[in-house]
Amino acid sequence: NAGVTQTPKFRVLKTGQSMTLLCAQDMNHEYMYWYRQDPGMGLRLIHYSVGEGTTAKGEVPDGYNVSRLKKQNFLLGLESAAPSQTSVYFCASRKTGTIGQFFGPGTRLTVL
């Protein structure tokens, strides 16, 4: 099993460009999460999903959209990137009835 994978690993955008980050998990987990990690602030929850076709806002959802069309994939979109969205983005998944979240390796995004 690959666990949780994220694509791409690195990306540089110009202000105003759009992009989509892909998170994929092969563990048949119901829950999926997107976090961002900034220096000195820990990880903060952007959006999450409790199952296929559902999404919900986390702590810092502004400027991001998500979709969960397939159970194994959770997409994070930036419609118009801003320098404030420069961060490391982590995806995680969790199985219903369990506590532990499994994390992907992260995507480092720089917005110029």
Rounded least distance, CB 6 to other proteins, Å: 8
SS3 state at 3: coil
Residue of the chain from 19, 22, 45, 60 that contacts other proteins (CB under 8 A): 45
In what order do the strands lie in the sheet containing 65-67?
4-7, 19-25, 73-78, 65-67
User: Nearest Cα to 92, choosing from 105, 104, 107?
Assistant: 104
Stretch that binds other proteins, among 13-21, 60-68, 77-85, 93-101 (CB under 8 A): 93-101
Residue of the chain from 12, 41, 82, 112 that contacts other proteins (CB under 8 A): 41
Does the protein bind other proteins through residue 100 (CB under 8 A)? yes
Q: How far apart are CA 8 and CA 106, in angstroms?
A: 9
Does the protein bind other proteins through residue 43 (CB under 8 A)? yes
Q: Which two tokens stand for residue 41?
A: 């602030």
* Residues found near other proteins in the complex (CB under 8 A): 4, 33, 35, 40-45, 48, 50, 58, 90, 92, 99-101, 103-106
